[in-house]
Structure 1
Amino acid sequence: MTLSTNVAIGKPHNVREVFEFCRGLLGTPDGTPVREGAGYLDERTKRIGNPIGIGLPALLDITYGPDGPLTHRCDRFCSTELGGEFDTTQEQIDDHTRYVAESPTQNGWAAMIVDFDTAYGWRGEGGETCSDLHARLVTALGQWLDARGLPWKWQNEYTGEWFDRYDGLAEFGNAHRATGADAWFRNQVVPAIQAHAAVSSAVPGEPTEGGADR
């Protein structure tokens, strides 16, 4: 299980410059290879990121539109598909239409999306949780974007809500303690993982647990 936090940037900017700044935030070692390919939204988008499994506190990916802003590619939930081959209800279409209209990654607002992804059980110095870490990363990236006059929003994955700039970050960083999620992870998830690991250790060739950045 991982916490994925997206930061949407509302104006075009040099993607490599954003990438290198975020790499620095994570302490990426010099000479670390760059992972590039198709973006996760659709075939029109591209992606640049860090390799998986290099021991950093978060996996870093940036999705961007090389030819313009990120926009929605119509699918079976769009109104144009009503009455087509899929059994889609009007309620589903209405919900989907609302999602596309409100999401900066779908409605043409964003030029790129920065994604920090951290294992839910990650802990840093002083007991820092993944929520604390992501609030800190978003704040630092936001200050860097502000200095360059770039508008930005971020998404709370726990609720799905998008926020303008620093709104909601304090509550987000405190999410583990305020909601009891930290106690839930320690008391239920960790024992389950340990039990699974104990069983897996007896099976030849069973994969082991990965690092913070998967």
Structure 2
Amino acid sequence: MTLTTDVYVLDEIAYKDVFLKCNQLIGATEATRFSNKQLTAWRQGAAVADHGKAWNIGNEIGQGLCALLDVYYRPGEPFRAVDNGCEWYCDSTCDNDEHENPACWLEVSFDTAYGYKDEQGRYCGDLHACLVAELGAWLDERGVRWLWYADTLATVYSGYDRLADLCSAGSEASAWYRSAVLPAIAGGVS
């Protein structure tokens, strides 16, 4: 079980620059393995409202990073030209009102296990709040507008004000994981 936080980059910027900055934020190195590939037709149709050629550049799992990183984009044009209420993994006919996926140039996704706790004592929500704040500041320096969304809060936000809510929601998810899930695993409950 993981906390997923998305940053919607609204204005044009090179996806490689954003990917490199995000990798820096999560502690990736030149040795970090990643892939850069066009999404399959199934995901492509769901990810982009006009069924264009969507791509994903992302780190491979199992490398010990604090978050799994994925950046969704389309070469030379917006990733999502119009708002789309469906999640990227839904089929194109879904009637999903979980949250509105805004029109954006890029979509950045950070994904971290609920059980995460680092040397600084940060849980997954604290980590994601820091990642959003640092990426947001970097984008602000470049005059690039952005929004963010965390699956535990189920609302799209702008700016920094609600990042404390992400910390709280992440702490609640981490506490639930430690108090309910880990004991169930240890007890062999299926």
Offset at residue 52 of structure 1 (A): 1.1
Say whether the 8 Å CA contact 2:153–2:166 is kept in structure 1.
Answer: no
Q: 2:70 aligns with which of 49, 61, 79?
A: 61
TM-score by length of 1: 0.72
Q: Residues of 2 paired with 1:183 and 1:118: CA distance?
A: 14
Q: 1:51 aligns with which of 54, 60, 63?
A: 60
Q: Deviations over 1:53-78 (max 9, x none)?
A: 1011100000012242214599335x
State the match for 1:33 in structure 2.
Answer: 33
State the match for 1:211 in structure 2.
Answer: none
Offset at residue 116 of structure 1 (A): 0.4
Offset at residue 145 of structure 1 (A): 0.2
Q: Deviations over 1:131-179 (max 9, x none)?
A: 00000000000000000000000002113200012131012112244xx
Say whether the 8 Å CA contact 2:116–2:174 is kept in structure 1.
Answer: no
Offset at residue 191 of structure 1 (A): 0.8
For residues 53 and 196 of structure 1, do their structure 2 counterparts lie closer, same or farther at Cα, with a shift above 3 Å needed?
A: farther
Max radius of gyration: which structure? 1
State the match for 1:169 in structure 2.
Answer: 163
For residues 168 and 191 of structure 1, do their structure 2 counterparts lie closer, same or farther at Cα, with a shift above 3 Å needed?
A: same
Q: Give me the CA root mean square deviation.
A: 2.5
What residue ranges of structure 1 are gaps of 5+ in the alignment? 78-91, 200-214
Confirm whether residue 8 of structure 1 aligns to residue 25 of structure 2: no
Q: Residues of 1 paired with 2:30 and 2:93: CA distance?
A: 44
| AA at the equivalent of 1:18 | V
Offset at residue 30 of structure 1 (A): 1.9
Confirm whether residue 120 of structure 1 aligns to residue 120 of structure 2: no
Say whether the 8 Å CA contact 2:4–2:110 is kept in structure 1.
Answer: yes
Q: How many residues align?
A: 173
State the match for 2:105 in structure 1.
Answer: 111
Moved beyond 4 Å, runs of 4+? none
| AA at the equivalent of 1:192 | A
Offset at residue 125 of structure 1 (A): 1.9
Q: Residues of 2 paired with 1:183 and 1:19: CA distance?
A: 31
| AA at the equivalent of 1:156 | A
TM-score by length of 2: 0.80
Q: Residues of 1 paired with 2:23 and 2:134: CA distance?
A: 12
Q: 2:180 aligns with which of 177, 188, 195?
A: 188
